[in-house]
Amino acid sequence: MPGFRMGQTISQKILAKHAGLKSVEPGQLINCKVDLVLGNDVTTPPAIEEFNKIGVKKVFDKKKIYLVPDHFTPAKDIKSAQQVKMMRDFAKKYGIVNFFEIGCMGIEHVLLPEMGAIKPGDLVVGADSHTCTYGALGAFSTGVGSTDMAAAMATGEVWLKVPEQLKFIFSGKLKKWVEAKDLILYTIGQIGVDGARYMSMEFTGPIIDNLSVEGRLTMANMAIEAGAKNGIFAPDRKVYEYLKTKTKLGRWSFVVGHWSSFQSDPKAEYRQTFDWDISHIEPQVSLPHLPSNTRPVSKCRNIKINQSVIGSCTNGRIEDMRIAAKILKGKRIHRDLRCIILPGTQAVKLQMLKEGLMKIFIEAGAVVSTPTCGPCLGGHMGILAEGERSIATTNRNFVGRMGHPKSEVYLSNVAVAAASAIAGHIISPAEF
């Protein structure tokens, strides 16, 4: 093996630590100890089946496995009820602490950061592609298949190929109504849905420094839509302050202790660096049927829509709900359109109640759902019929993603989705 380079990126440092090595190189196959294993109601049942084949009598750590039924819950049919029952029974059998029942659950990638379950420097694997969300907190977090989830639950380890590194530097000044969602949509539009295939996307620059942690979670969430193995941000004071507020929720208590706050070395090597002044960009819209098919919102005006979905693991946090309420306050949803609000967790929903956001949404004519992935993956709570169009703050707009194969999904930020819900067609919030 060739000698290791001196400079290491934040992703390489986290992987090296968990592999028990001083450094790692792109393409190197390593075996790593994990800090957390995650599964949902779609991916956990097949993982349980594979786990049973291994023949072990216990999981590697009862406190480091998180089972979150969020895709089809509350159960939409018999099959989804059976899937959650399988998870529930497995959690009881092996004493898994973190199984989230109805009333306590939320959308997994909103719930775990909210609970303080993720720390900078952690290695997290989850049987869901959007597990890359936690890179916003300075963790190396990536999606794996159900078989790998089963092995991780049994051994506490996962094997990985060290990804190549891409660096994205954002500078300039954001225009009004441009959000973190627009930065990641713009990025995917520039490099394509396979532009970061099996690579690490490292986000940095003055714009990133000024982003809220919630905004960073939105960006990291969609790294997979560029094909990335992970998306990551160097943890800073904002992350530390965020985690200090997330150490206790309900009957679960998490203490955020000491962590390894890794930073990329000045001489770290990247396959490519993108340095963008994004002062000129306006809110972005991804047209069917790829997240990379992006246009400025001004080029999408007057595309009639039948539904607006605001929420999901991409944009279901309280910051998102506040933006939507700011647009919808005192307005009415267009009479030919359905507007569905999906808060990410029960805690988000409770905060909406406290701040009067629920009242704003209901008076505007929107419906507020229990926390669930629901329509994002064409599950329930907002399926599209043939020929219908939806604007959504979700993360994918593939053919048939939200329902009928001949329906269409347009991805946008929260402000655009809320403004379009009032207009009945895609529109910039600046027009209000």
Question: Residues of 108-132 as b/e, b for ≥16 C-beta within 10 angstroms?
Answer: bbbbbbbbbbbbbbbbbbbbbbbbb
Average pLDDT over residues 237-245: 87
Residue percentage of the chain with pLDDT more than 70 = 95
What average pLDDT does the chain have?
93
pLDDT tens, 67-100?
A: 999 999 888 999 999 999 999 999 999 999 999 9
- Say which residues have a Cβ less than 8 Å from residue 78's Cβ, sequence separation at least 6: none
Q: Which residues contact 384 (CB under 8 A, 6 or more apart)?
A: 306, 307, 375, 378, 390, 402, 403, 404, 407, 408, 409
Q: How confident is the model at residue 261 (pLDDT cuts 50, 70, 90)?
A: low
Q: How far apart are the first and last CA of the chain?
A: 60
Closest to 142 (Cα-Cα) out of 152, 134, 150? 134
pLDDT attached to residue 251 = 33
- What are the distances in angstroms from CA 33 to CA 24, 101, 156, 351? 15, 28, 6, 36
Which pLDDT band, with edges at 50, 70 and 90, does 257 fall under? very low
Section 30-36 average pLDDT: 97
pLDDT above 50 for 424: yes
Residue 250 predicted with pLDDT over 70: no
pLDDT at 26 over 80: yes
pLDDT of residue 262: 85
Tokens representing 430 are 């600046």
CA distances from 192 to 78, 108, 128, 143, 172 (A): 39, 26, 21, 20, 23
Question: Which residue in the block uniquely carries the two structure tokens 């905060």?
Answer: 351
Domains and CATH numbers, the chain: 10-254 (3.30.499.10), 291-431 (3.30.499.10)
> Count of CB atoms within 10 A of residue 173's CB?
12
Question: What is residue 403's DSSP assignment?
Answer: B
Residue 60 per-residue DSSP state: S
Q: Strand 157-161 relative to strand 408-411: parallel, antiparallel, unpaired?
A: unpaired
Residue 6 clears pLDDT 80, i.e. is over it: no
- Residue 253: is its pLDDT beyond 70? no
Could you check whether the bond before residue 74 is cis, i.e. omega within 30 degrees of 0? yes
The predicted pLDDT at position 102 comes to 85
Per residue in 151-197, pLDDT (tens digit) is 999 999 999 999 999 999 999 999 999 999 999 999 999 999 999 99
pLDDT tens per residue across span 264-280 = 999 999 999 999 999 99
Q: How many residues are recorded in the chain?
A: 432
Q: What is the pTM of this model?
A: 0.92
Q: Is the pLDDT of residue 3 over 60?
A: no
270 close to 8: Cβ distance less than 8 angstroms: no
Mean predicted confidence (pLDDT) in 380-402: 94
Alpha carbon dihedral 211, 217, 219, 220, in 10-degree steps, equals 130
Q: How confident is the model at residue 254 (pLDDT cuts 50, 70, 90)?
A: very low
What tokens appear for 232 in the block?
């990551």
At 260 the pLDDT is: 59
pLDDT band of residue 255 (cuts 50, 70, 90) is: very low
The pLDDT value given to residue 158: 97
Distance (Å, whole) CA 44 – CA 146: 7
Pair 187, 180: CB distance under 8 Å = no
Mean pLDDT of 364-388: 92
Distance, in Å, from the CA atom of 125 to the CA atom of 391, rounded to the nearest integer, reads: 30
Residues 409-420: tens digit of each pLDDT: 999 999 999 999
> What is the arithmetic mean of pLDDT over 7-32?
96
Tell me what pLDDT residue 5 has. 55
Taking a C-beta distance cutoff of 8 angstroms, is the pair 273, 164 a contact?
no
Residue range 111-125, pLDDT digits in tens: 999 999 999 999 999
The 8-class DSSP code of residue 375 comes to G
Confidence grade of residue 246 (pLDDT, cut at 50, 70, 90) = confident
pLDDT confidence tier of residue 393, bands split at 50, 70 and 90: very high
pLDDT tens across 353-364, in order?
999 999 999 999
